[in-house]
Amino acid sequence: MRLLAAPDKFRGTLTAREAAAAIGAGAARAGWDSVELPLADGGEGTLDVLGGGNRTTVVSGPLGEPLEAEWRLEDGVALIEAARACGLSLAGGPDGNDPLLATSRGVGELVAAAVAARADRVVVTVGGVASTDGGAGAVEALRPLLPLGIPLVVACDVDARFLDAADVFAPQKGATPQQVAILRERLATLDVPDIPGAGAAGGLAGGLAALGATLVRGFDLVAGRLRLDELLAEADLVVTGEGLFDATSLTGKVAGGVLARASRAGVPALVVAGEIVTNPPADAVSLVALCGRRRALDEPAACLAEVVEQELTGRSRTA
């Protein structure tokens, strides 16, 4: 039996690569062969699953401090992960962030570095950022270079409209109700196309779209580059997962994307999540429910491997 291990990161506990390795270890103990395919949706971890950085540039961090950000240039295509320049984790999480000050300027500086390095095309993967500036910081950094003269693609992790960046996502970045109102007013003053995905990364996607960028689904971009459909066609089962399976999991995230593609391919799928807080698909299990919250947080790889082993052993017995 052949298994495809195709998870997202388990935020705060496992990278996508670590999660895929744990799934593969559990499969091996159950007597299954496996192929590990760590995935991402355009948010944090996308650069890692697509090969990692091979360039570094000092840019403005989310709260203005200088930091060294990795990016990738290969075959003329620059790959930039917005979270490497203005990630919420870089700002200290919601508690350390200043939602009104946080800026996307560093992302624009990375795009400028890619242009200076003679990239033929720039792909910016967005998600997991501290800023809700509508891309104003990034646009300001790029203004001296406009027009860029090369294709700019933005890989989005959500389909949110532009003002959703404040109303829906700013509270996750530490914004109070009063700050959300201020951020919404700021966004409303920007001349940005209100198209699906424009609200991704605090409106950074919309700001770049105003410069002529094409918005695409981040999961689809990653899945295409890593040949997910081809590998699914060779699998008897696919196991995907993430740290928290909730209502957003089926709207552009990795777990939902893998489930949809597996269904089209006629391949059974299993979701193993750290925790499940919404109506899950029929075949889904939670590490918190099976291992307990403390162990799921302290030993996530061991728990994930054990749960996968148990699930696959049961399938083998009923096959």
Q: 93 in helix, strand or coil? A: helix
What is residue 43's predicted lDDT score, i.e. its pLDDT?
Answer: 86
What is residue 278's predicted lDDT score, i.e. its pLDDT?
Answer: 80
Domain count, the chain: 2
Domain boundary among 178, 200, 219: 219
* Amino acid of residue 221: L
What is residue 317's predicted lDDT score, i.e. its pLDDT?
Answer: 59
What is residue 316's predicted lDDT score, i.e. its pLDDT?
Answer: 65
Shared domain for 143 and 266, answered yes or no, is: no
pLDDT over 70 at 102, yes or no: yes
List CB contacts of 165: < 8 A, sequence separation 6 or more: 132, 134, 183, 187, 199, 200, 201, 202, 203, 206
Considering only CA atoms, which of 43, 50, 216, 56 is closest in space to residue 130? 43
Shared domain for 124 and 156, answered yes or no, is: yes
Shared domain for 192 and 50, answered yes or no, is: yes
Average confidence (pLDDT) over 74-96: 97
Helix, strand, coil percentages (3-state) for the chain, rounded to 5, are 45, 20, 35
Shared domain for 212 and 132, answered yes or no, is: yes
Q: 124 in helix, strand or coil? A: strand
Range of the domain at 50: 46-219
Residues present in the chain in total? 319
> What is the Cα 290 distance to its own chain's centre?
26
Shared domain for 28 and 67, answered yes or no, is: no
Shared domain for 162 and 286, answered yes or no, is: no
Two structure tokens written together for 281: 């698909």
Asked which of 189-193, 278-282, 292-296 is least confident by mean pLDDT, the reply is 278-282
List CB contacts of 22: < 8 A, sequence separation 6 or more: 14, 300, 301, 302, 304, 305, 308
Shared domain for 157 and 67, answered yes or no, is: yes
Shared domain for 106 and 137, answered yes or no, is: yes
Between 280 and 104, name the one with better pLDDT.
104
The overall average pLDDT reported for the chain is: 95
pLDDT over 60 at 318, yes or no: no
How many whole angstroms separate alpha carbon 76 and alpha carbon 74? 5
Shared domain for 52 and 34, answered yes or no, is: no
Domain boundary among 186, 219, 252: 219
Backbone angles phi, psi at 124, to 5 degrees: -110, 120
What is residue 252's predicted lDDT score, i.e. its pLDDT?
Answer: 80
**Beta pairing class for 214-217 and 121-125:** unpaired
When pLDDT is cut at 50, 70 and 90, the band that residue 228 belongs to is very high
Shared domain for 18 and 65, answered yes or no, is: no
The CATH number that applies at residue 65 is: 3.90.1510.10
**Tens-place pLDDT, residues 132-181:** 999 999 999 999 999 999 999 999 988 899 999 999 999 999 999 999 99
Q: Are 273 and 255 in contact (CB under 8 A)?
A: yes
What is residue 319's predicted lDDT score, i.e. its pLDDT?
Answer: 53
The CATH number that applies at residue 16 is: 3.40.50.10350
Shared domain for 56 and 152, answered yes or no, is: yes
> What is the Cα 95 distance to its own chain's centre?
21
Shared domain for 12 and 137, answered yes or no, is: no
**Tens-place pLDDT, residues 68-82:** 999 999 999 999 999
How many whole angstroms separate alpha carbon 212 and alpha carbon 208? 7
pLDDT over 60 at 23, yes or no: yes
**Beta pairing class for 2-5 and 33-36:** parallel
**Tens-place pLDDT, residues 297-311:** 999 999 999 999 999
Domain boundary among 190, 219, 248: 219
